[in-house]
């Protein structure tokens, strides 16, 4: 990472800035001393998860090339986190909308090339990994090479894999420095916890808080609870984005924790944080994704001498406290 004096001269664009990760990334770079930040999202400003007036905040639909040209004007670096997406309940039932995200990356790359942007970061996903390598809950970590031969998650995973390749070829053909990180289940405060786009950690916390507030000590779990994942706290994610962007890592790389847990274990952890035990029922026909997914961090440790390190308990406790506070303010049950 650069020092604050150097950061004060940088001009950066963060797309998807009204979303969960994008909002945290704006805050992170402001704290790093970056003075010129253009924050862009398709959502009206009133609907952004976080809004900081120190940034230039714009409401633009980046599926349109003309809007991408407006967004990249005068910036040195682009951080593309814009996507129409959500948790498994969303991406399994909105495959066409997920595929249409290709318009954002395509037009943003074209605009970045035209504007002679120095560096371009693309937020990819662990959903690019071949499905036949994710059939067991006790999975070993997925290596970056496991994305090929290609057989990613339908819809969202295919779009992410295609977008990675497009970044690669813009680097090869037009000398645009691109970086891509494959996110593994990012969670934390200031994100969706209801409405259908929330991911597993936030959904489980919401259900536990609702059970606590209502006195109905029961919880419905999607699947049989034995499916496994690794989860990365948002502070590790934004630091990793910065480190990867300013590294010499040319190929897409994992950005995730290697601490594998089952959904049942995640529920038990949240119960422990909340101080209660719940009766569990299992919705076996609900969207549940692959059986197991874990991040192999060999390459990121080799390149950066760093990997995400915030423990699941620490991160989930902070996330629980934020969601519980929001639900109590709103009177949610």
Catalytic residue among 122, 156, 187, 193: 156
Rounded CA-CA distance 34/31 in Å is 7
Enter the pTM of the model. 0.94
- Would you place residue 92 in the very low, low, confident or very high pLDDT band (cuts 50, 70, 90)? confident
DSSP conformation class of 237: H
Sequence ranges of the domains in the chain: 4-187+231-255, 200-229+260-294+311-330
- Annotated catalytic residue 156: yes
* Fold of the domain built from segment(s) 200-229+260-294+311-330: UDP-galactose 4-epimerase; domain 1 (3.90.25)
Q: Looking at per-residue confidence, does 259 or 177 come out higher?
A: 177
Q: Is the pLDDT of residue 15 over 60?
A: yes
SS3 content of the chain, % helix, strand, coil (to 5): 45, 15, 40
Determine which of 53-57, 89-93, 202-206 has the lowest per-residue pLDDT on average.
89-93
- Would you place residue 333 in the very low, low, confident or very high pLDDT band (cuts 50, 70, 90)? very low
Q: Is the pLDDT of residue 193 over 50?
A: yes
CATH of span 4-187+231-255: 3.40.50.720
DSSP conformation class of 46: G
**Max intra-chain CA distance, the chain:** 60
Residue 221's H or E segment, with its range, is strand 218-222
What's residue 128's pLDDT?
96
- Taking residues 199-208, report their average pLDDT: 95
């Amino acid at each position: 990472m650069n020092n604050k004096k150097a950061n004060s001269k940088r001009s950066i664009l963060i797309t998807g800035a009204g979303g969960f990760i994008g909002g945290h990334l704006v805050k992170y770079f402001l704290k790093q001393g970056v003075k010129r930040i253009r924050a862009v999202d398709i959502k009206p400003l009133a609907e952004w998860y976080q809004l900081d007036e120190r940034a230039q905040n714009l409401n633009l639909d980046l599926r349109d090339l003309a809007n991408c040209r407006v967004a990249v004007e005068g910036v040195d670096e682009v951080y593309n986190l814009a996507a129409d997406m959500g948790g498994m309940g969303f991406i399994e039932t909105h495959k066409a909308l997920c595929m249409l995200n290709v318009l954002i990356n395509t037009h943003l790359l074209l605009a970045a090339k035209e504007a002679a942007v120095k560096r371009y970061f693309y937020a990819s996903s662990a959903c690019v990994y071949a499905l036949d390598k994710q059939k067991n809950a006790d999975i070993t970590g997925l290596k970056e090479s496991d994305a090929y031969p290609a057989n990613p998650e339908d819809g969202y995973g295919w779009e992410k894999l295609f977008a990675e390749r497009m970044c690669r070829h813009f680097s090869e053909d037009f000398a645009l420095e691109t970086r891509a990180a494959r996110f593994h289940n990012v969670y934390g405060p200031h994100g969706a916890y209801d409405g259908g786009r929330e991911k597993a950690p936030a959904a489980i916390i919401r259900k536990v808080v609702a059970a606590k507030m209502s006195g109905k000590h029961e919880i419905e779990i999607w699947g049989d609870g034995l499916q496994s994942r690794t989860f990365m706290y948002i502070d590790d994610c934004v630091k990793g984005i910065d480190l990867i962007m300013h590294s010499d890592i040319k190929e897409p790389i994992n950005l995730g924790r290697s601490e594998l847990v089952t959904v049942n274990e995640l529920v038990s952890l949240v119960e422990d944080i909340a101080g209660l035990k719940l009766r569990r029922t299992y919705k076996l026909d609900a969207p549940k994704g692959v059986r197991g997914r874990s991040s192999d961090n060999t390459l990121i440790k080799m390149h950066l001498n760093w990997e995400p390190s915030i423990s699941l308990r620490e991160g989930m406790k902070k996330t629980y406290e934020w969601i519980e506070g929001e639900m109590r303010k709103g009177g949610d049950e």
